[in-house]
């Protein structure tokens, strides 16, 4: 656990990488149902293999993007006195490579900036890169924003590092 000040001092650092996470066809199909996006490149592996250069079905870009919350939890350090964290949005997202069904992905997160917004609120900006196992080009790069709400009276003597 670290104070928000110690966390802010890590600006520019790679905070870490999550573990690998498999994106199988069942997950892709479930995402297609929830989002009503049933384009054949996602839900019909045989047709995607026959009619595209993809070699089979691929995950939705937004499925991969949505995993930032889950995978990021493995990377973000605990902040002393944190009451809650809000997903504040994204400044930029670029989908760079398709994620084939059955591939594994992970996220690498770099802290870009921490801005104090007053009333215990700190807006944190990150570069989040979703890597595909065995591939050089990442699936996506996103500038992710999180808003930490800190109770400065509850830091409990947190370690500064």
Helix-strand-coil percent breakdown of the chain, rounded to 5? 25, 40, 35
d(CA 59, CA 50): 17
Q: Phi and psi dihedrals of 79, rounded to 5?
A: -105, 130
CATH for 4-23+60-154, options being 2.60.120.10, 1.20.1420.30, 3.10.129.10, 1.10.3720.10: 3.10.129.10
pLDDT tens-digit profile, the chain (161 residues): 899 999 999 999 999 999 999 999 999 999 999 999 999 999 999 999 999 999 999 999 999 999 999 999 999 999 999 999 999 999 999 999 999 999 999 999 999 999 999 999 999 999 999 999 999 999 999 999 999 999 977 544 444 33
The full 3-state SS of 16-81, as one line of letters, equals EECCCEECCHHHHHHHHHHHCCCCHHHHCHHHHHHHCCCCCCECCHHHHHHHHHHHHCCCCCCECC
């Amino acid at each position: 656990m670290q104070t928000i000040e110690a966390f802010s001092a890590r600006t520019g650092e790679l905070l870490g990488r999550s573990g690998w996470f498999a994106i199988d066809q069942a997950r892709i199909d479930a995402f297609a149902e929830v989002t009503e996006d049933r384009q054949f490149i996602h839900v019909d592996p045989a047709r995607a293999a026959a009619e595209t250069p993809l070699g089979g079905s691929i995950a939705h870009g937004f499925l991969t993007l949505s995993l930032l919350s889950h995978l990021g939890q493995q990377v973000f350090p605990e902040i002393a006195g944190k009451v809650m964290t809000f997903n504040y949005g994204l400044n930029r997202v670029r989908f760079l490579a398709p994620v084939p069904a059955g591939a594994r992905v992970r996220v690498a997160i770099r802290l870009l900036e921490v801005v104090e917004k007053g009333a215990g609120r700190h807006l944190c900006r990150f570069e989040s890169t979703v890597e595909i196992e065995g591939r050089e080009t990442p699936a996506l790069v996103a500038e992710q924003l999180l808003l930490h709400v800190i109770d400065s009276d509850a830091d409990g003597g947190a370690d500064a590092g």
